[in-house]
Amino acid sequence: MARAYTIATAALTLEMPVKWLDNTLSHIMVRGVQQERQGVARRITIDGLLILAVAIVLINEFRISLAGAIEIAGQLIASGGRYASPQGVSLELNLEELIAGLLERLENAVEMAPVPRRGRPPENKTGRLD
Is residue 113 predicted with pLDDT exceeding 80? Answer: no
Residues found in the chain? 130
In the 8-state DSSP scheme, what is residue 114? P
Confidence (pTM):
0.83
Distance CA 43, CA 31 (A): 11
CB 14 within 8 A of CB 5: no
Looking at every residue in the chain, the average pLDDT score rounds to 88
Q: 34-77, pLDDT tens digit by residue?
A: 877 666 678 999 999 999 999 999 999 999 999 999 999 999 99
Handedness of CA 47, 53, 54, 56 (dihedral sign): positive
Which pLDDT band, with edges at 50, 70 and 90, does 127 fall under? low
Helix, strand or coil for residue 5? Answer: strand
Q: Domains (ranges, CATH) in the chain?
A: 4-112 (1.10.1660)
